[in-house]
Structure 1
Amino acid sequence: MDDLINKLIKKYKTNCPFELSRALGIHIRFMNLGAGTKGLYYRKLRRRFIVIHNELPLEWQRFVCAHELGHDRLHKGINRFFLEEQSYFSPGKLERQANNFAYKLLSADHIPHQDEPLASFYQRIGIPPELRYLGEDYT
């Protein structure tokens, strides 16, 4: 996964998930997905789409885009929904992998400052506060 992320960043000279998605030909749409769904990734007629809930704060939109881009890069041919953490389903392997991809992509080329708490580091790089505890698994 690290090699994949590094190759993407090197080729497109950015770690912005929106810019990477556009460069890869993935269509990004914003719409109201209702309570409980933050985003989704799907393919239709060889076209790829990331749909992001339009009422999310900007840092969540960025994370969801990175997460869904992870599905595109890691789970080809599988349509996925990014569901609320409060759902009755525990995040499966594919969701954990997409979260891992998102954290690694968004934190690429960033390192914590000396003695900087992880919460401050994640805030600085735009990881949503609700997900910062998950980042400890990926650092």
Structure 2
Amino acid sequence: MQQQEFVSAVKESLDLPDNQSAERAVRATLTVLGQRLEGGEAKDLASQLPGGLADALPDQGAGERFDVDTFYQRIADQEGDGVTVAQARQHARAIAKGLETALTDGEWNNFTSQLPKDFQDFLGTEPVEKH
């Protein structure tokens, strides 16, 4: 999947006004995700993303511990432009679906196995109405 395809899919999924907003959401989500992932997992994830998006992830994840609510708050802060935590949650969940499509099954499983149980919400395996 090419960068433009990924960004356009996110834009359409979220009904965002333009590709710039969608790319900002993707980059914010990947940046915060990179803070949460440990060791080389961020680099492994980046290796399967288009180059322009992959550079939002660090070579080595910090493995910083934070819950899913903090994850969404950090994404909202990173996106800026008055994005609320609820909007950041919607953005992140749409991006998770895009990642699931873009990654190989093996990489998706490696990636998701590093996330704690409360991140099931981010991965879309918990109902949206829960928050």
By percentage of residues, which structure has more strand?
A: 1
By percentage of residues, which structure has more helix?
A: 2
Rg larger in 1 or in 2?
1
> TM-score by structure 2 length?
0.31
> TM-score by structure 1 length?
0.30
